[in-house]
Amino acid sequence: MSALAWGVGCAVAVVGVALAIARWRSVETDAARAEGASRPAALRDAELVYMEKLFRISTPVGLVAKLDRAYRMPSGLLVLVEFKTRSSNQPFLSDVIQLSAQRLAVMGQTGRLVASYGYVMVKAPTRRALPIAHRVRLMTDDQVVALVRRREDILADRILPRRPQSRKTCLSCAFRGQCDGLIP
């Protein structure tokens, strides 16, 4: 191979690597921009510290919770965020229970302080819809523990389940077919 051909080959390789790095940086910037645009405005100055991460505790109750995102505020406080796609633009009690269980698991596993509020980001099921933030107050640790124990008692047939206060809850419940006629 002539020196000229070798030189041209090297130059092409260098340009290729440079283009690949530029493309990778552009993808990374787009992802960061999309993440920034999808977070609640109140968390603009916060740092994204966990994403799609599983947390596990065995005491005071056994609990495994996977969170969507956790942000660290400048004060060090962690704030949890849960994403939902649904046509009704509102947070549900089940969202609050999920976030509250995540809070207990994150604090138990990491020892870090997690805010007693969180955000449910509700996005309409259309391509162009943007998530809308709903700030929700979370359940206390004692309330989560009581809920987990109640669930265990129901599954072990130690107590009977009750229907929710609003029958509307049953209308959109995935377990409706299984429990119709079983719960008084």
Is residue 145 a contact point for ligand SF4 (CB under 6 A)?
no
Q: How far is the CB of 116 from ligand SF4 (least distance, A)?
A: 26
Residue number of the CB atom closest to ligand SF4: 173
In degrees, to the nearest 5, what angle opens at C-alpha 84 toward C-alphas 80 and 86?
A: 155
151 binds ligand SF4 (CB under 6 A): no
CA distance linking residue 79 with residue 102, whole number of Å: 11
Query: Site size for ligand SF4, by CB under 6 A?
Result: 9
Distance of CA 5 to the CA centre of its chain: 54
Residue 164 sits at φ, ψ, to 5 deg, of -65, 160
Q: Is 73 in the site for ligand SF4 (CB under 6 A)?
A: no
Q: Cβ closer to ligand SF4: 109 or 169? A: 169
97 binds ligand SF4 (CB under 6 A): no
Residue 180 beta carbon to ligand SF4: minimum distance, rounded to whole angstroms: 7
- State which residue, 110 or 169, has the beta carbon closest to ligand SF4: 169
Site for ligand SF4 in 165-184 (CB under 6 A): 169-170, 173, 175-176, 179, 183
Nearest to 41 by CA among 116, 113, 133, 172: 133
DSSP structure class, residue 138: P
Alpha carbons 70 and 118: distance in angstroms, whole number: 9
Please give the residues from 36 up to 55 whose contact with ligand SF4 meets the rule CB under 6 A.
Answer: none
**What 3-state DSSP class applies to 114?**
strand
